[in-house]
Amino acid sequence: MEQETKQCLTCKNNFEIRSEDFAFYEQAKTVPPLDCPDCRMMRRLVFRNERTLYKRQCDLCKKDIISLYTKDSKYTVYCSDCWWSDNWDPKGFAQDYNPNKKFFEQYEELQRKVPRLALMAINSVRSEYTNGAADNKDCYLIFASDANQDCSYGRLMQRSKGCVDCAFIYDSESCYECIDTHECFKCLYCEQCQSSTDLIFCYNMRNSNNCIFCTNGRNISNSILNVKYTKEEFEKKKEEIFSNYESIEQAKKEFAELKSKTIVKYASQAKCHNVTGDYLFNCYDGVRVFDTSDAKNCSYMADADGPIDSMDCNNYYYKPELCYNMMGVLQSSKCKNGAFVFYSNEVEYSENCHNLSSAVGCNAIRKGEYMILNKEYSKEEFYKIKAQIDEQMKKDGTYGQFFPSKLAPFGFNESLAYDYYPITEKEAEKRGFKWQNQVTGTYGKETLKEGDLPKTISGVTEDILKEILVCTECKKNFRITKAELDFYKRMNIPLPHKDFECRHQDRMKKRNPRKLWHRQCMCEKNHVNHTGKCSNEFETSYAPDRKEIVYCEQCYQQEVS
């Protein structure tokens, strides 16, 4: 079919369905979506709570645990040890399919009965306050992060050591407040830097060391504002910045202004071909792809590694293929409209299932095949009932669409959707999402007032570990941990004045949004590829009203080399 314009069922905005999309829907044996890409992603992300944690009891062993669910949640919640144990059987909650009731009504009945996993964290040591995480050691409040040691307060930290308050950081050590950083050591307040050491307030640096306020640098050292200085002059500037809390805050403002005037490439892409999106590596043939590597023929994706021939998926890892409308997948194929499906094939409308093949409407199954609503069938009976379900869903208009918003187990403001689509409670309810009004944390219990924090780290003793601090922004109380204090002293960094969540939100605001605008290259210099104003056009996540100077790939490479 040719390209078609449709009106989104939820937000009423128009969106395009490409001819390539129609070809995929036919291959995946599904139907075109009723919602635009943003509304589809919002519905998937509300099924993912990463950072909103609560204290409660495990409903099986009765131990006190950390959980994604409040103690008043309508769900049964088990700790990891109990959930994975043989003390209960998910198949014991099996339901017969009733052709006289809507499918999602029957799935909701199952969803409410089957125990849910308190946190998704495996093979970690002394890292209880982590989620969506694996193989971590001595880590605290890190999320969607694997194989780290001594790391705290971050999201998407991978294979790193001793890093604090970072996001999208890989193979790095002793870094602080860094974003989109690869293979860096002792870098502070840096963004999009790689293979560098001792950078401070730097942007898009490669193979450099001992730099302050530098941008787009390659193989430079002892530099300030991209100008070479003596080692003594560099150390003097560093000492000036870190003299107290106020001087660091001033440096943050100067860095933000510096970035706003620098030349940027239209998208953070490397080794990519015929793909639109941002923060991409080695991706081919797709549209609206973000934070993804090694993708082939994938569109409307985010947070993915190695996906093949898939569409509309988030948090999608270990070479999954031929999946559609999925939230949280590991190494699965031909799965549709589900959340947290691992090592499975041909699974639809299911949650938190592992090693499952040919299934519809299952929850928490750890191994099985030919299952509907947690009940096992013969192959023939399975496909017979599945055909009935498909026919019923086509009649009520839900066939091929993701779970209804009301089935999301979390409030919109608890979920990852709120990070990328920060709508109000009223708007969330209008769209059919729930809202969590039970506030986490404490307020008004501080033993140190906002203005009483030491201005430097040198005078801070371990007595601070007994104090309760207050966030200058949201007014929530928070504490300093021993590992955190040791890090600040080692790196000569003043104590933070905001709690973890506000610091996280500040970092996320520094990254480009998951939106694209059609723009023209702003280069007006004479380059090999043009004379006068460059005519190249592109899709970029830099909005037209931003201050950055946005270049196409060719012009950028000629300016930054």
pLDDT at 200 > cutoff 80: yes
| Count of residues in the chain | 561
pLDDT at 548 > cutoff 70: yes
What whole-number distance in Å separates Cα of residue 194 and Cα of residue 483? 26
Joined together, the tokens standing for residue 84 give: 């994975």
Joined together, the tokens standing for residue 102 give: 């809507």
Q: Range with the lowest mean pLDDT among 93-97, 122-126, 281-285?
A: 122-126
Q: Which amino acid is at 124?
A: S
Mean of pLDDT values over 7-18: 96
Strand partners for 372: 360, 375
Average pLDDT of the chain to the nearest whole number: 95
Q: How confident is the model at residue 561 (pLDDT cuts 50, 70, 90)?
A: low
Joined together, the tokens standing for residue 287 give: 């549209």
Joined together, the tokens standing for residue 21 give: 């999309």
Q: So what's the pLDDT on residue 234?
A: 93
pLDDT at 528 > cutoff 80: no
User: 440 near 53, Cβ under 8 Å?
Assistant: yes
Phi/psi for 437 (5° steps) reads -100, -5
Mean of pLDDT values over 114-128: 94
Q: For 397-434, how does the pLDDT look when each residue is reduced to its tens digit (9 = 90+)? A: 999 999 999 999 999 999 999 999 999 999 999 999 99
Q: How confident is the model at residue 86 (pLDDT cuts 50, 70, 90)?
A: very high
Cα separation values, 433 from 4, 10, 116, 315, 408, Å: 28, 12, 20, 21, 8
Mean of pLDDT values over 77-88: 96
Q: For 453-508, how does the pLDDT look when each residue is reduced to its tens digit (9 = 90+)? A: 999 999 899 999 999 999 999 999 999 999 999 999 999 999 999 999 999 999 99
Q: For 429-443, how does the pLDDT look when each residue is reduced to its tens digit (9 = 90+)? A: 999 999 999 878 899
What whole-number distance in Å separates Cα of residue 376 and Cα of residue 397? 27
Closest CA to 538 of 276, 348, 301: 276
What whole-number distance in Å separates Cα of residue 4 and Cα of residue 368? 40
- CA dihedral (386, 387, 390, 391) positive or negative: negative
Using CB atoms within 10 Å of the CB of residue 352, give its burial: 0 to 12 exposed, 13 to 18 middle, 19+ buried.
buried
Q: So what's the pLDDT on residue 382?
A: 98
Instruction: Catalogue the long-range contacts made by 491-494 (C-beta closer than 8 Å, 24 or more residues apart).
Output: 491/174, 491/176, 491/186, 491/188, 492/242, 492/457, 492/458, 493/176, 493/188, 493/242, 493/248, 493/457, 494/244, 494/245, 494/248, 494/453, 494/454, 494/455, 494/456, 494/457
Q: So what's the pLDDT on residue 215?
A: 97
Closest CA to 291 of 307, 302, 299, 300: 302
| Three-state helix/strand/coil letters over 513-542 | CCCCEEEECCCCCCECCECCCCCCEEEECC
Mean of pLDDT values over 54-78: 96
Mean of pLDDT values over 312-330: 96
User: 106 near 373, Cβ under 8 Å?
Assistant: yes
Q: So what's the pLDDT on residue 439?
A: 73
